[in-house]
Structure 1
């Protein structure tokens, strides 16, 4: 006898479709994080070829990296607010589309200015993507073991992104063309858009919210003027335009602070950065950004231009630092609850400085295994000691309503530090290289290594300053500095 199935008697599905959808969403969001981090380094290996083809000056070459980091860092806070207020999935999808379009624009660029503009647009849309992805992850996995697993996967992808970028950049530049370092993003974007449509659920912050446009404009213009001023310093620190842009940047950032202290819904609540430990963590992240972004760019130049490595070999030769970091992280994570974060935050920069000082000893006739590899290994050990605790310290004592701003500030500090650091390093490189070229015009490689050596030495000094910052700001009992319990920070490399 035939019996119809009513809703009450229909069999209950054995597979939790919603549960499976969450893990597919994690894959999509992790892919987004990979693209954002990867694009910070993928063009580094391609820069020598791009410079030759497009006729870039050394200043323009630097801006191919700086434009991405500066736009990304300066707009992250606004991007997080847009995601919360406008809708996180909507922001994610728009960010994906814009990032893909900017990548295509950069991939077909016919001049240095077009490439720089494209990289800036990539950074701007990445500033929408990154906070939207993190917010979506937060509301998709709300508690328990699954949340810890999701964040561990997300953090691991972020941690390997920089290394993948260097390696993929080398493969594409050597076997295809440097332009594919940008065009390859189209495949990631298509996967992200399809996955976003299928698996990501919309959410937004409750209540009536208002954008802090005055704060967004002043901080973006202020940081831009500051970085541009440092860029002009390669023509002279006492030049009127250099002083003018640096002064303008400082004034605009001062105006930003005044605005944030007065508006009802600030882009960056000042209480987030005025906390002693958090403020110290942000300063240290800026130092890390300057050393990592500036250092890896000039390392790529040395490997290819002076040592004559192919793009692929240069990409592989850049990996030991990241391998060492990933190897050390599990051990340092277990050690963290025993000794607390403060010793690591002081010792880490000191070890990293030793590695950078080692790299500063490069010569035109030196070799990779004695002059470069040991420095990368030592630098990796130092950075591992920083990456484990710094992310958690950047969020210590944060109220729930400030968590998004604090997280965005942590990432912004790294990107802005990298932008300013690279601008300063480029000015120092130009001065040292020009001085060496005047001494011996017949030895261009010696001029290059003289400039690179000054960059690595300057980055080492920055790391020493980071150790001092940690000693001054990261204070308190171990228990007070570890409210997060067992160390579980997501590791961000690069």
Structure 2
């Protein structure tokens, strides 16, 4: 999803929902109301057992495969905070368009999460995972040889579609192979793989940057080849190793209608046009047709999507209309648009300042940013093992937002960014800001996942992840315009300050709106509810 931060590319919400409503088996299942459960399918707690019975060794080996998928999804986003500048230089990408090095993957990734979750439900999670994994590996290998920016952006977008297959399919397969009492540790380990990828992503990119050659031997090209070497053998093996549970509605005749292709592609078009408009506005001006046309059309597509979904029956809609009637759901989804953008809009400018302005090695820039990753990881662990701290999401979110706002103030006051200035302003801001935003992220996740009924956990989680990733892409696009307000682009810190001031004002506005719109339920208490929410939401990116 971020580097040593929390990556927008990794999905951390349970796109498969609670095991109680999973109906997939090795054969086609009857409708839920007529399903007959055998005694061995129910554990001692009364919950359904794993749908596919495997040995312990095979279960945990499969978890390692799913965790690798999470790992490379995070790397596919986070490492490019280091590689954006060299890729832009090699492929002749204009400064105003550099955010597309990152967002070309994130936009399609976020737009297809709901779609691939639906495909996994209707057919089977195994082919979605296996062939998506293979496609991602092949795309990474091909991208490593591309000579121009246009083919790079197009294939990065396609790889985002492939990457979006992995997370919802992984969640569904984990629920299928693990017993209910094993799911807690399985999801915790799965989520922590994302956290480890956060910490290692920029470091790996930094170490690869020591490769001295250019052209086809550039460091960023070797990164794509490294990822391909990790993925392709594992993905091919997964075809033979992963069992194949059938889709939950594999016996229905109207699968194509249930896929809701119109909804999937209208959201994709809306998000892409919105990001394109913001990018062109930064490059050519905010009063030009190049900005206004895609920007306005995107809002038309968003409106069409919501009208279309409202007219469809719930079982056919990608995002059922009843979802928005859940208390606090709309408020939390709107608020989620801010979260990933906080990390993205400080990582990218600081990396470029350290490397391009101060002439530091990429590995040094990665080390300077490492406190953000460790702070987020520490908060992740704390909230995982002490779930009572997120028992009231309103206060968790508000407290974390205040810390992140303080961090933005400190960011804006740093003028040299190195030496004493780094330790006085940036280091403490990285700690309190990233830790606070991790608390915000967790509180938002738990608030959503504990507010929806179990049977809606999948669509709620996918909607949340879409909002997180789309918000990050929009934030980077807006920042790319603000970094050109004054001459000098990134080398003129006044431009960076302007983007931080904008983020600061936006954060204050979002916090006020959240406090006004969020309505805690009177019955919510909470240690048990928070713990249940954390079980359904692995807390790592």
Which residue is equivalent to 1:12?
none
Which residue is equivalent to 2:474?
420
Cα 1:474/1:200, change in 2 over 3 Å: farther
Segment of structure 1 superposing worse, 155-164 or 103-112 = 155-164
In structure 2, what is the Cα distance between the partners aligned to 1:407 and 1:477?
A: 20
What is the aligned-residue RMSD (CA, Å)? 2.2
SS at match of 2:424: helix
Which residue is equivalent to 1:221?
269
Segment of structure 1 superposing worse, 482-491 or 321-330 = 482-491
Cα 1:244/1:87, change in 2 over 3 Å: same
Q: 2:134·2:236 contact (CA, 8 Å) conserved in 1?
A: no
How far off is 1:459 after superposition? 2.4
How far off is 1:356 after superposition? 1.8
Contiguous gaps of at least 5 residues in structure 2: 1-52, 213-218
Segment of structure 1 superposing worse, 363-372 or 303-312 = 363-372
How far off is 1:163 after superposition? 2.3
Which residue is equivalent to 2:336?
285
How far off is 1:108 after superposition? 1.1
Cα 1:361/1:338, change in 2 over 3 Å: closer
Relative contact order (alpha carbons < 8 A, sep ≥ 6): 1 or 2 greater? 2
SS at match of 1:491: coil
Cα 1:20/1:74, change in 2 over 3 Å: same
User: Residue 408 of structure 1: which of 440, 458, 462 is its match?
Assistant: 462
Which residue is equivalent to 2:413?
361
In structure 2, what is the Cα distance between the partners aligned to 1:198 and 1:398?
A: 36
Q: 2:442·2:539 contact (CA, 8 Å) conserved in 1?
A: yes
Which residue is equivalent to 2:121?
84
1:78-157 aligned within 5 A: 78-144=115-181, 146-157=182-193
How far off is 1:192 after superposition? 3.0
TM-score normalised by the chain length of structure 1: 0.89
Cα deviation 1:368-399 (Å, max 9, x = unaligned):
33342222112122113213322222223323
Which residue is equivalent to 2:291?
242
Matched, 1:205 2:248: yes
Contiguous gaps of at least 5 residues in structure 1: 1-15, 438-443
In structure 2, what is the Cα distance between the partners aligned to 1:138 and 1:65?
A: 31
User: Residue 343 of structure 1: which of 395, 404, 407 is its match?
Assistant: 395
SS at match of 1:39: helix
Q: 1:269·1:402 contact (CA, 8 Å) conserved in 2?
A: no
Q: 1:32·1:192 contact (CA, 8 Å) conserved in 2?
A: no
Cα deviation 1:242-277 (Å, max 9, x = unaligned):
122111011111000111011231011122244342
Q: 2:450·2:530 contact (CA, 8 Å) conserved in 1?
A: no
Q: 2:70·2:190 contact (CA, 8 Å) conserved in 1?
A: yes
Segment of structure 1 superposing worse, 332-341 or 106-115 = 332-341
In structure 2, what is the Cα distance between the partners aligned to 1:197 and 1:189?
A: 13
Matched, 1:317 2:368: yes
Which residue is equivalent to 1:69?
106
Q: 2:67·2:190 contact (CA, 8 Å) conserved in 1?
A: yes
Cα 1:32/1:320, change in 2 over 3 Å: same
Q: 2:353·2:490 contact (CA, 8 Å) conserved in 1?
A: no
Which residue is equivalent to 1:35?
72
Cα 1:295/1:270, change in 2 over 3 Å: farther
In structure 2, what is the Cα distance between the partners aligned to 1:425 and 1:481?
A: 40
Cα deviation 1:219-256 (Å, max 9, x = unaligned):
11111111111112213222223122111011111000
Cα deviation 1:277-332 (Å, max 9, x = unaligned):
22222222210121122322222111211232201111121110111122233444
Which residue is equivalent to 2:494?
450
Cα 1:73/1:339, change in 2 over 3 Å: closer
SS at match of 2:524: coil
How far off is 1:477 after superposition? 4.2
In structure 1, what is the Cα distance between the partners aligned to 2:530 and 2:470?
A: 30
Segment of structure 1 superposing worse, 397-406 or 251-260 = 397-406
* Equivalences, count: 467
Cα 1:89/1:139, change in 2 over 3 Å: same
User: Residue 309 of structure 2: which of 257, 260, 266 is its match?
Assistant: 260
Segment of structure 1 superposing worse, 360-369 or 270-279 = 360-369
How far off is 1:86 after superposition? 2.9
Which residue is equivalent to 1:373?
427
In structure 1, what is the Cα distance between the partners aligned to 2:358 and 2:432?
A: 21
In structure 1, what is the Cα distance between the partners aligned to 2:169 and 2:107?
A: 19
Which residue is equivalent to 2:512?
468
How far off is 1:69 after superposition? 0.8
How far off is 1:194 after superposition? 4.4
Which residue is equivalent to 2:483?
429
SS at match of 1:430: coil
How far off is 1:125 after superposition? 0.6
Q: 1:387·1:492 contact (CA, 8 Å) conserved in 2?
A: no
How far off is 1:17 after superposition? 5.8
Cα 1:371/1:181, change in 2 over 3 Å: farther
